[in-house]
Structure formats: structure tokens, C-alpha cells
Amino acid sequence: EAGVAQSPRYKIIEKRQSVAFWCNPISGHATLYWYQQILGQGPKLLIQFQNNGVVDDSQLPKDRFSAERLKGVDSTLKIQPAKLEDSAVYLCASSPRTEAQETQYFGPGTRLLVL
């Protein structure tokens, strides 16, 4: 079974530029998550999708971050304009959501450096 795929793996941009990250979850997984992991910290949830609907985006900085999950499969996370403090690893995870307690499966992440 293929895992969660993310691209690109690395991205370097200058502040005020825009950037987009792509995630392809495990086939059949209904729930998709985007996390931000700043160096030296644990992952922090940005947004949670159930199929193609948003369950929780309370921690997403909506003035600059946006995310969508068209057709309930792939997802894109965008930052526009980027700030220095957005430098982090952006992790995508998915879960099947068939049990009360689910395991989340993580992709390798996209490492973003904002100069």
C-alpha cells in the first residue's frame, strides 16, 4: 500500500513570495490533515478535512494560508505572502476514519525555508 505522498520535498523562497504544497493521501482515507512543524517543536495542526469538507481550520492563519481538498482526495496548502516565521516542515497526514480512534499516517513532509 502506497503511503502519503507530498511534494515538493524542499522549497526555498523569499519573503512575500507565494508557495504551494501538494499532498496525496493513502487511497480511501477520508480524513486529511495539514500540520506545521517548526524546528525544535512538535507538529501543530493547521487544518483538518473530512472528505472534501473542512472540519477544523481554527489554527490556520487565514490571512495568508489557504487549503483545499478538491474531490475529497488530493489537497493543496498555499501560503501567500510568506513570512520568515513560516519556515518549517509542513506535514500531511491521512486516516481512514472507520473507527472511533484512528491512526494518522504521515507523509515525509515539505521543508520550507523563507529568506
Among 20, 45, 73, 113, binds another protein (CB under 8 A): 45
Rg (CA), the chain: 13
The stretch near another protein (CB under 8 A) out of 17-25, 65-73, 75-83, 90-98 is 90-98
Cα–Cα distance between 6 and 108 in angstroms, integer? 7
The stretch near another protein (CB under 8 A) out of 14-22, 40-48, 68-76, 79-87 is 40-48
- Residue 13 grid coordinates: 523562497
* Residue 9 Cβ vs another protein, minimum distance, rounded to whole Å: 8
Cα–Cα distance between 3 and 84 in angstroms, integer? 30
Up-side HSE of residue 104: CA atoms within 13 Å toward CB? Answer: 15
Among 7, 81, 102, 113, binds another protein (CB under 8 A): 102
Among 48, 75, 77, 112, binds another protein (CB under 8 A): 48
Cα–Cα distance between 34 and 47 in angstroms, integer? 5
Q: Binding to another protein by residue 53, rule CB under 8 A?
A: no
